Structure 1
């Protein structure tokens, strides 16, 4: 039997590193094309053009980024929470029917059932284990709320800049939170995220991607939900 390959930081973290690099690349592209679009509209309206740095520190760029981030973290928050209790038979994105719920301490390897290398708070018991047991959805929800607040604040500034150019009175934060601009930005992103997670759950019943942990085995029957089904 051949010896296991030596551990490598780049190999062991290749997924997060590549996704992080792609994120930075896409953000740079968004900024580049965003300032080009802004300056094109500025020239048409006879307004002053701006440079890239001023654009990426503007409320317009901030609200565009924040509205995308909040919808993405809403997607993860909902999916993590809903898949505790709801199932989709045949989907690799779901637990098997009958496995709904939080599961036992033994199944979750917490408290007296924890392993020697389990996280410290999984072994601690009490409030620490309880808090750690919900840490993933909690952090996702906090980031969602924080980015939604950032969207509201930056969106109000950006919207008021347009209103001032149109010689309209600026809106306070409360008025902006019930404005068409705020809810138009919010709901168009929410519907796309709900569509994405819904179709992923259903597509994973019938479609495969060989070698991906997000897919069942290529030869697995359509009605098999998980290895425990």
Structure 2
């Protein structure tokens, strides 16, 4: 098998979803540009070109408000599943595994294997940082994208107000506005519903061949068992 073919096979999941992300982002940009210009025309204003639209706060806030909710989902899921369990779900650890688990089970420190990541074999702060790196990065991206949403959202909100000859608001005032929290909470509730649905539906339903599902013949009470 050639190296390019091996690379595509070994990274198929990331490449497929990454490509899908870029295509849908492009589609959002095209449809958002058309909708934005429709609003400008309705307000008796001059439409703008596609490239200028990509630099507008209107486009930026639509993108970042979705990113922050997705990374919130992953952040809560990564940390929540350390302690929270769901009997019968492959999304949960086994019922006797709640918590951070032992060094032996996690293969850290003196229990690290030759193939383990270098910092997993260390002790002290390096092991502590690496052992929580996934959730920390997810949380950091969430906070960054939420901050970006608040800044771009304030700009978009003020642009809309100025078109209606209304006074703009400060960033701090926008953080307390109904617009900001409506944008935020409508995304959060959908992400939390999706996680809860996946946790409970995977108890009783199956998808043959998916690691997100239990084996088809596994009992409903089997917990922390994934297909392959």
Instruction: Name the TM tier (shorter chain).
Output: over 0.9
Q: Which residue of 1 aligns with 2:129?
A: 131
Query: 1:110: Cα distance to partner?
Result: 0.2
TM-score by length of 2: 0.96
- What secondary structure is seen at the aligned counterpart in 1 of 2:121? helix
Paired with 1:185 and 1:155, the residues of 2 have a C-alpha distance of 9
The runs of at least 4 consecutive aligned structure 1 residues that moved more than 6 Å come to none
Query: 1:227: Cα distance to partner?
Result: 3.9
Structure 2 unaligned regions, length at least 5:
none
Paired with 2:52 and 2:2, the residues of 1 have a C-alpha distance of 46
Question: Does the aligned pair in 1 maintain the 2:90–2:225 contact within 8 Å?
Answer: no
Q: Which residue of 2 aligns with 1:105?
A: 103
Q: Which residue of 2 aligns with 1:166?
A: 164
- Post-superposition CA distance 1:45-67 (Å, at most 9, x none): 21110111111111000000000
Q: Which residue of 2 aligns with 1:142?
A: 140
Is the counterpart of residue 33 in structure 1 residue 22 in structure 2?
no
TM-score by length of 1: 0.95
Structure 1 unaligned regions, length at least 5:
none
- What secondary structure is seen at the aligned counterpart in 2 of 1:124? coil
Paired with 2:43 and 2:161, the residues of 1 have a C-alpha distance of 14
Q: Which residue of 1 aligns with 2:202?
A: 204
Q: Which residue of 2 aligns with 1:187?
A: 185
For the aligned residue pairs, the C-alpha RMSD in angstroms reads 1.3
Paired with 1:218 and 1:56, the residues of 2 have a C-alpha distance of 46
Is the counterpart of residue 85 in structure 1 residue 83 in structure 2?
yes
Paired with 2:38 and 2:164, the residues of 1 have a C-alpha distance of 18
Q: Which residue of 1 aligns with 2:56?
A: 58
Q: Which residue of 2 aligns with 1:12?
A: 10
Query: 1:6: Cα distance to partner?
Result: 7.5
Query: 1:40: Cα distance to partner?
Result: 1.5
Q: Which residue of 2 aligns with 1:154?
A: 152
Is the counterpart of residue 175 in structure 1 residue 146 in structure 2?
no
- Post-superposition CA distance 1:123-181 (Å, at most 9, x none): 11111001100000000000000000000000000000001111111110110000011
Paired with 1:64 and 1:205, the residues of 2 have a C-alpha distance of 34
Q: Which residue of 2 aligns with 1:47?
A: 45
